Amino acid sequence: MGAGRKVTTVIVGAGHAGLAMSRCLAERTVDHIVLERGGVANSWRTERWDSLHLLTPNWQSRLPGFAYEGDDPDGYRTMSEVVAFIDAYARAISAPVETNTRVTSLSHDGDWYRVETDRGAWDSRSVVLANGACNIAHIPRVAEGVPAGIATLTPMDYRNPGQLAEGGVLVVGASATGIQLADEIHRSGRPVILSVGEHVRAPRVYRGKDIQWWMDKAGVLDERYDEIDDIVRARKVPSMQLVGTSDRKTLDLNALRDIGVTLRGSLAGIRDGKVLFSGSLRNQCALADLKMNRLLDTIDDWARENEVAGEVDPPHRLEPTVVDDAPALGLDLASGEIKTILWATGYRPDYSWLNLPVLDRKGQIIHDGGIIAKAPGAYVLGLQFLRRRKSSLIDGAASDANDLADHLLSFLAGSSGSARGIAAGQVAWRSSILEQR
Ligand SMILES: Cc1cc2nc3c(=O)[nH]c(=O)nc-3n(C[C@H](O)[C@H](O)[C@H](O)COP(=O)(O)OP(=O)(O)OC[C@H]3O[C@@H](n4cnc5c(N)ncnc54)[C@H](O)[C@@H]3O)c2cc1C
């Protein structure tokens, strides 16, 4: 193995999470580099659909040392605005980003991590995986049964309704992505059937304030991973049914039903050209209503205890989700009713380049709040409920990166031999990091 360029810490990925970590390491004078396969904010540039707006308000994208300063704190950014925001952050913190540099392999050799890229190798004492939680669209196994003649795509391929054939669309999945795309596609004149599994319902605005404002103020988003009864389950909870629009509309199943979207149960199988839906729609909706009302109860309790009642509207509840008496359990794909299936069934990270024994049998990284114990000096950022409920949001990166940067610093301070030579505080950030091993 040839010599690589030497640096204390390699950060993989220049999304907001990798940049937040860069800023935290800079504050601690840890010599580091950020390797990015595309440009800064690559995911927002290349993997999102045209009409997407953040579902978190502008004020809520707070990065270490950087916050929204415009005149529309309650608005929701377009994709180009998100890219501009993250780009501006990278410039403001002078992040040492190597763009167009794809990490192709990460392995461990003695005290050093070997980071292979398509532009040469790096050797580092520690690594931070900030490559994102949503690199690959998850498609369920049942998709193998889709007959020829039906087009399929995922939200990573989808840009706008114009790319779809005329005719009906089956959208599978009713979390934030599924409901937003069902709404847009149905409004384009293509009838939509929405297959609904477990989902999280929420009003956009509650008692006159954005639901994110309430969750932020009431501390719901700050709940820690080590205070939750079932963190494994909490890390799988789907995203909230929310959309960011200027009219601040609530986009739930009732709103979709009102415009003519057909609701069906979760997709249980596809056999002989027929889709089979589960009979759980009513239960799934009742459960989502129950959980939403529990969240609103928590918010009301907080409002009472903190005496904000004078500043907000009185408590109210949404109508229960309306479900047909007996929603159909089958759909014949040969009937011509459906031309396209859109799998809005979640995302997952891509660790195909990771040559470390740190994955469980499902291919997920084994970590404790982002600390990868099986690979000392390795950290992961940006995963769902990594350290806090808000960990996968832009707003969650600051506190997580700060915590993990502290841990990384103590790892460097405690490590031995040559590692100490480039430990925190001993090499100025962005010093001559190109020294050969
Ligand atoms: C559809 C959608 C909507 C969302 N809406 C919101 C929202 O409204 N508000 C909010 O706060 N959050 C939202 N999120 C969640 C979250 O903010 C994003 O997933 C965010 O992109 C995660 O940031 P990150 O920095 O962890 O990862 P990313 O932004 O994905 O950054 C990871 C970076 O790593 C790079 N990379 C990956 N692999 C490699 C490699 N092998 N070598 C080099 N570079 C690599 C990628 O190119 C990318 O630039 C949304 C997510 C999705 C998918």
Ligand 1 within 6 A of CB of 124:
no
Minimal-distance CA residue to ligand 1 atom 51: 134
Ligand 1 within 6 A of CB of 133:
yes
pLDDT at 3: 79
What pLDDT, in 10s, does the model give residues 17-59? 999 999 999 999 999 999 999 999 999 999 999 999 999 999 9
pLDDT at 309: 78
**Angle subtended at Cα 406 by Cα 402 and Cα 408, rounded to the nearest 5 degrees:** 115
For residue 431, is pLDDT > 90? Answer: no
Cβ atoms of 124 and 412 within 8 Å: the answer is no
For residue 97, is pLDDT > 80? Answer: yes
Ligand 1 within 6 A of CB of 132:
yes
For residue 421, is pLDDT > 60? Answer: no
**Angle subtended at Cα 104 by Cα 102 and Cα 106, rounded to the nearest 5 degrees:** 115
Minimal-distance CA residue to ligand 1 atom 14: 393
pLDDT at 146: 97
For residue 422, is pLDDT > 70? Answer: no
Q: How confident is the model at residue 425 (pLDDT cuts 50, 70, 90)?
A: very low
User: If residue 330 lies in a helix (H) or strand (E), which one and from where to where?
Assistant: strand 330-332
Ligand 1 within 6 A of CB of 68:
no
- Identify the CA nearest to 254 among candidates 223, 230, 228, 288: 288
CA 56 – ligand 1 centroid, Å: 14
Average pLDDT over residues 404-429: 62
Residue 145 structure tokens:
């049964």
- pLDDT > 70 fraction of the chain, expressed in percent and rounded: 95
pLDDT at 417: 37
Q: How many CB atoms lie within 10 A of CB 117?
A: 21
Across the chain, mean pLDDT equals 93
Minimal-distance CA residue to ligand 1 atom 27: 132
CA distance 328 to 326: 6
Minimal-distance CA residue to ligand 1 atom 37: 131
For residue 280, is pLDDT > 50? Answer: yes
pLDDT at 307: 87
Average pLDDT over residues 285-299: 98
Please give the DSSP secondary-structure letter assigned to residue 54. Answer: -
pLDDT at 236: 93
For 14, the 3-state DSSP assignment is: coil
Please give the DSSP secondary-structure letter assigned to residue 422. Answer: T
For residue 428, is pLDDT > 90? Answer: no
What are the residue boundaries of the structural domains of the chain, listed by start?
Answer: 5-135+349-434, 138-347
pLDDT at 1: 61
What pLDDT, in 10s, does the model give residues 138-188? 999 999 999 999 999 999 999 999 999 999 999 999 999 999 999 999 999
CA 13 – ligand 1 centroid, Å: 9
pTM for the whole thing?
0.93
395 CA closest ligand 1 atom index: 11
What pLDDT, in 10s, does the model give residues 64-84? 999 998 999 999 999 999 999
Ligand 1 within 6 A of CB of 400:
no
For residue 424, is pLDDT > 50? Answer: no
- Cα–Cα distance list, 181 to 44, 139, 164, 178, 307 (Å): 17, 16, 12, 5, 39
Minimal-distance CA residue to ligand 1 atom 15: 393
For residue 312, is pLDDT > 50? Answer: yes
Ligand 1 within 6 A of CB of 103:
yes
What pLDDT, in 10s, does the model give residues 179-214? 999 999 999 999 999 999 999 999 999 999 999 999
What pLDDT, in 10s, does the model give residues 107-150? 998 899 999 999 999 999 999 999 999 999 999 999 999 999 99
Cβ atoms of 238 and 200 within 8 Å: the answer is yes
pLDDT at 399: 97
What are the DSSP E strand ranges found in 112-266?
112-117, 120-129, 136-137, 151-153, 168-172, 192-195, 200-201, 205-206, 209-210, 240-241, 262-264
Average pLDDT over residues 337-362: 97
Minimal-distance CA residue to ligand 1 atom 52: 134
Minimal-distance CA residue to ligand 1 atom 47: 42
Ligand 1 within 6 A of CB of 56:
yes
Ligand 1 within 6 A of CB of 10:
no
For residue 419, is pLDDT > 50? Answer: no
CATH code matching the domain that covers 5-135+349-434, chosen among 1.20.120.10, 3.40.50.720, 3.50.50.60, 2.30.40.10: 3.50.50.60
What pLDDT, in 10s, does the model give residues 240-275? 999 999 999 999 999 999 999 999 999 999 999 999
